[in-house]
Amino acid sequence: MLVYAGALVAEALSVNADLNTLMRQMAHVPLTDREGNQMETIRDVAVIVGSLRRDSINRKVANALAELAPAGLKLSIVEIGQLPIYNQDGDDNSPAEWSAFRERIRAADAYLFVTPEHNRSVPAALKNALDVGSRPYGKSAWSGKPGAVVSASPGAVGGFGANHHLRQSLVFLNVPAMAQPEAYIGGADKLFDASGKLVNDGTRKFLQDFMQAYVAWVAANGKS
């Protein structure tokens, strides 16, 4: 029974992998309109939210960014809460959750990290996701794709410590992180209504400008 369940998981993962490959290939096919004019390539952006909290402010920020994204980007949140804690002993026989996550990260064209700060650093769940995606040694799923970092906190400093600790890891992971504009969103608990909608016009304009800079960053640093 266990063997059978394992085979089903393996089959599901391989179907998933094929779909990912197909979607990735499709994402790079230049679209044409009815007259045959070339349209914009759509980039697949994996959004990693550093909070596992049900009512997370950072998830609301990520949703707002997805809504404000320019037409050339398709943002989707890649969940990290299901990932078992990384342990190098699992490199030879990885949990299915690690393998599926690595496959999804590998398939993406770019990354967008939206994270809270925990004790002036990156939340453990996010660090775990970085580690899981980076291994086995020499087979990092992250390498060579552009990224950007947004941090949000109810506090005034806007998660600056987490933002910069994350950037330190991204240097090692070979994920070039957009330098400007920096995004430390302070007082973030006041920016959304009860339904999770962004209700602050200044922040909306800032996030819109951020996404305009990000689409240019991805175009300049992504694989064509």
Find out whether 80 and 115 touch, Cβ atoms under 8 Å.
Answer: no
Candidates 201, 208, 200, 206; CA nearest to 69 is 208
119 binds ligand FNR (CB under 6 A): yes
Please state, in angstroms and rounded to a whole number, the distance separating the CA atoms of residues 141 and 104.
9
In the range 155-194, which residues lie near ligand FNR by CB under 6 A? Answer: 155, 157, 159
Written as one letter, the residue type at 116 is P
User: In sequence order, which residues have a C-beta less than 8 Å from that of residue 14 and are 6 or more positions away?
Assistant: none
Minimum separation from the CB atom of position 35 to ligand FNR (A): 45
In the range 137-156, which residues lie near ligand FNR by CB under 6 A? Answer: 153-155
Closer CB to ligand FNR, 147 or 158, in the complex: 158
Q: For 118, which DSSP code?
A: B
Query: Residues 48-87: x/- map of binding to ligand FNR (CB under 6 A)?
Result: ---x-x--xxx-----------------------------
In the range 12-51, which residues lie near ligand FNR by CB under 6 A? Answer: 51
Find out whether 202 and 208 touch, Cβ atoms under 8 Å.
Answer: no
Candidates 83, 88, 118; CA nearest to 103 is 83
Closer CB to ligand FNR, 50 or 176, in the complex: 50
Choices 86-94, 95-103, 105-113, 115-123; region in contact with ligand FNR by CB under 6 A:
115-123
Minimum separation from the CB atom of position 83 to ligand FNR (A): 17
Long-range contacts: 10-14, Cβ < 8 Å, 24+? 13/96, 13/99, 13/100, 13/103
Of 28, 120, 197, 223, the one binding ligand FNR by CB under 6 A: 120
Q: Which residues of this chain interact with ligand FNR, rule CB under 6 A?
A: 51, 53, 56-58, 116-120, 153-155, 157, 159
